[in-house]
Amino acid sequence: MIETVIRRYHGLLTDPGFLRFQHLTIADVYDQLGQGCSQGEGEVALVTRFADAVKGRNYRGLRLHCEKIHGSKSFVSFNFRDKPTTKELGDLVLITVVSEGRSRRLQKLCVIQNKVLRDGKTHIDPEQLFLLKNFPLFSGSRGLFRGAKDVMFLNTKGCLGAYGFFESPGEMIHVNAGSLSDALAGSASFSKAALGAMGKGDLDLYDRGLSWPFQFPWFDDPMMHELSHRWIRWGLPSQILQTWAPFTSSRHTLHDLHDFFRAWVSLRIGELVYAIDHPVDIDAEKFSTAILRQVGFGEHLDLGGEAPNEDLHAGLTVMIAHLDVAEE
């Protein structure tokens, strides 16, 4: 199973046509965001422009699906240090799915709060940052998680919560909540300059082009084949696995739209919540799978369990990158 994913993944990354597909899509997104920024639009309108520019795009089994789920914003209650508080979970959800036909192989999730930078600056709510960085136990207040109690996201790699920053003339920056917290160092006032060179150190071995004594495809070795299953299932990719399966890890800081889009379509954003027929983050997998059902992916994938009796009500935008390795 994982061998097919890795072969297909590397086939895409070395395909000049796939790179051209990315560049052409990014150019259209830049155009849309530029128009929105020139009109002084806010976060919701800019995210909508982004989603409209990419939805329905496809290349060799990779399809981009974007949809707005209507309803009230999703607020959750949790303890912020020594006091209870209620905050919005986020306004954009990125889901990445790799399947082989109807069978899921990998699933990743990222919850994003978007902001517009004015003169390179914006205010960050410290309580929401605390939520997206730490994901403490929370309960649903209204919206998507209404009625839910003691929801627990593992957030093993610290890639589950993030911020998206839009700025004129049509740029976007993506920063994981943990990296943003480090850059702010306790301040609530964010300046793009605070990011500096952050993110340059989070490149994994694949990005650095390092090689290992195992010749590709190393998974033909029975021992490596078995280890790859265990590493992904446990959510603990080793350095060797990251070299050939970088989609098991994620980028923390993406300084422009090119970085963001190319990381998204190459499966490099978010937390791994499902791998090899096994949830690795139970509550986060349930949450992202409920969204997949809501937007109709139950028709294309075996999502397990039973479909809910009622629709989700959550004012958020969903962007899904689905790679079917069974297609060419």
Residue-wise pLDDT tens digits, 88-103: 888 899 999 999 999 9
Lowest-confidence pick of 84-98, 213-227, 303-317: 213-227
pTM over 0.85: yes
**Of 109-113, 226-230, 254-258, 302-306, which gets the smallest average pLDDT?**
226-230
CA 244, CA 250: separation in Å to the nearest integer? 14
Kindly report, residue by residue over 222-278, the tens digit of the pLDDT: 555 555 666 666 555 555 555 556 777 788 899 999 999 999 999 999 999 998 778
Q: Is the pLDDT of residue 196 over 80?
A: no
Share the mean pLDDT of the chain.
83
Residue with tokens 């929105």: 36
> Both tokens of residue 191?
């300046």
Gap between the Cα atoms of 105 and 9, Å rounded: 13
Q: Assign 114 a pLDDT band (cuts: 50, 70, 90).
A: very high
Examine the pLDDT at 204 and tell me if it is beyond 60: no
Mean pLDDT computed over 22-50: 95
Question: How long is the chain?
Answer: 328
% the chain with pLDDT above 90: 51
State mean pLDDT over 272-297. Answer: 89
Q: Stretch 189-203: mean pLDDT, rounded? A: 68
What sign for the dihedral angle of Cα 258, 259, 260, 266?
Answer: positive
pLDDT for 275 = 86
The pLDDT of residue 206 = 47
The whole-number pLDDT of residue 229 equals 60
241-274: burial string, b at 16+ Cβ within 10 Å, e else: bbbbbbbbbbbbbbbebbbbbbbbbbbbbbbbbb
Read off the amino acid at residue 76.
V
**HEC profile of the chain:** CHHHHHHHHHHHHCCHHHHHHHHHHHHHHHHHHHHHHHCCCCHHHHHHHHHHHHCCCEECCEEEEEEEECCCCCEEEEEECCEEEEEECCCEEEEEEEEECCEEEEEEEEEEEEEECECCEEECCHHHHHHHHHCCCEEEEECCCECCCCECCCCCCCCCEEEEEEECCCEEEEEEHHHHHHHHCCCCEEEHHHHCCCCHHHCCHHHHCCCCCCCCCHHHCHHHHHHHHHHHHHCCCCHHHHHHCHHHCCCCEECCHHHHHHHHHCCCCCEEEEECCCECCHHHHHHHHHHHHHCCHHHCCECCCCCCCCCCCCCEEEEEEEEECCCC
Q: How open is the CA angle 20-160-142, to the nearest 5 degrees?
A: 115
Greatest mean pLDDT among 42-56, 186-200, 212-226 lies in 42-56
Give phi and psi for 300, each to the nearest 5: -110, -25
Query: Position of tokens 């974007």?
Result: 66
